[in-house]
């Protein structure tokens, strides 16, 4: 087992989360109707550990019907070249990708206006419609903002939270690491896993990271999104992330030097 000082030090390096991460979710949501604000609040507040601090619902993105919407997510300003800044900058983008798709589908199920685009911007900065990302469903016939149809695999054979936790605990014992499962569920399950260890290179080369990816069905679009972060006390980290409900995509990144990262992330 890891020593308590390592666990405490490792946890201190992780992003602290925005308004939605607090025990009482007091997420500011501007614009839209009362029903739209309530639905957006419910989605983001179910994203435990999210970096989203506020949401704005806006009308009429360019080249779209006037009754459609775009959403702006306000996130922290990641400053400097620190590990915390690195983790925050990646997590906030993934949070926006995940939340936007969940809000789009939550609105559609409730008969609210269509959300066809979104953006993430730093707190205090006016969002710019020129940098919107499209998430319109093909059936809406808005070509500029179309993002394709969500995978039919979403939610199929998804594990219960209890089963995921039990299996993650077993992997942590097997590879002698500390692991934390964050149960984010903006619409469908969107697991976030943090792994803390003194020897991240050994965890990678022993295929422990591969085992966590398999547990979370990474690349198989079983969950709405997946985020896995491997963090070392020595100020190094490796992360992979995926979004499957809205704009499908996967990515990876590393901060500091960790042996074995190149096998899993060519961009590092």
| Cα torsion 251, 125, 56, 185: sign | positive
Whether residue 239 sits in one domain with residue 136? no
- How confident is the model at residue 58, as a pLDDT? 97
Tokens describing residue 235: 């100020």
Whether residue 158 sits in one domain with residue 133? no
- How confident is the model at residue 12, as a pLDDT? 52
Whether residue 136 sits in one domain with residue 23? yes
Whether residue 232 sits in one domain with residue 167? yes
Calculate helix-pair angle for 161-175, 208-215, nearest 10 degrees: 170
Tokens describing residue 63: 């080249």
Residue that terminates a domain, selected from 110, 145, 180: 145
| Mean pLDDT taken over the chain | 90
Tens digits of residue pLDDT in 156-175: 889 999 999 999 999 999 99
Whether residue 54 sits in one domain with residue 8? no
Tens digits of residue pLDDT in 171-195: 999 999 999 999 999 999 999 999 9
DSSP per residue, 1-28: ---HHHHHHHHHHS----GGGSSS----
Whether residue 131 sits in one domain with residue 212? no
- How confident is the model at residue 2, as a pLDDT? 39
Whether residue 177 sits in one domain with residue 71? no
pLDDT band at 9 (very low <50, low <70, confident <90, very high): very low
Contact 75, 44 (CB under 8 A): no
Whether residue 115 sits in one domain with residue 40? yes
Whether residue 197 sits in one domain with residue 132? no
**DSSP strand pairing (54-59 vs 115-122):** unpaired
Residue that terminates a domain, selected from 145, 166, 185: 145
For residues 85-95, give the mean pLDDT.
94
Q: How far apart are CA 131 and CA 36, in angstroms?
A: 23
- How confident is the model at residue 5, as a pLDDT? 40
**Which domain does 159 fall in, by range?**
4-13+154-264
Whether residue 176 sits in one domain with residue 131? no
pLDDT band at 18 (very low <50, low <70, confident <90, very high): low
Residue that terminates a domain, selected from 145, 166, 184: 145
Whether residue 201 sits in one domain with residue 140? no
Cα distances (Å, whole numbers) of residue 243 to 78, 133, 227? 21, 14, 9
Whether residue 213 sits in one domain with residue 138? no
pTM comes to 0.89
Total number of domains in the chain: 2
Q: CA angle 44-245-220, nearest 5°? A: 125
Residue that has been written with the tokens 């792994």 in this structure: 195
Residue that has been written with the tokens 């903006």 in this structure: 186
């Amino acid at each position: 087992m890891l020593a308590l000082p390592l666990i405490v030090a490792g946890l201190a390096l992780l992003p602290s989360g925005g308004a939605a991460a607090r025990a009482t979710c007091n997420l500011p949501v501007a614009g839209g109707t009362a029903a739209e604000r309530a639905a957006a609040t419910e989605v983001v507040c179910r994203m435990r550990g999210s970096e989203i601090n506020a949401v704005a619902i806006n009308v009429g993105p360019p080249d779209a019907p006037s009754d459609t919407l775009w959403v702006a997510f306000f996130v922290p300003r990641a400053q400097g070249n620190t590990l915390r800044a690195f983790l925050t900058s990646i997590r906030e983008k993934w949070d926006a990708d995940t939340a936007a798709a969940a809000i789009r589908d939550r609105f559609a199920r409730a008969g609210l206006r269509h959300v066809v685009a979104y953006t993430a911007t730093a707190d205090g900065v006016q969002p710019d419609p020129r940098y919107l990302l499209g998430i319109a469903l093909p059936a809406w016939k808005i070509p500029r903002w179309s993002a394709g149809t969500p995978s039919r695999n979403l939610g199929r054979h998804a594990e219960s939270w209890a089963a995921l936790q039990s299996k993650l605990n077993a992997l942590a014992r097997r590879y002698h690491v500390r692991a934390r499962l964050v149960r984010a569920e903006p619409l469908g399950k969107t697991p976030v896993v943090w792994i803390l260890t003194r020897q991240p290179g050994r965890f990678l080369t022993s295929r422990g990271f591969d085992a966590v990816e398999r547990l979370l069905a990474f690349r198989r679009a079983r969950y709405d999104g997946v985020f896995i972060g491997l963090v070392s006390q020595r100020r190094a980290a490796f992360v992979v992330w995926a979004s499957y409900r809205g704009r499908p995509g996967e990515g990876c990144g590393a901060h500091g030097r960790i042996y074995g990262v190149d096998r899993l992330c060519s961009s590092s």
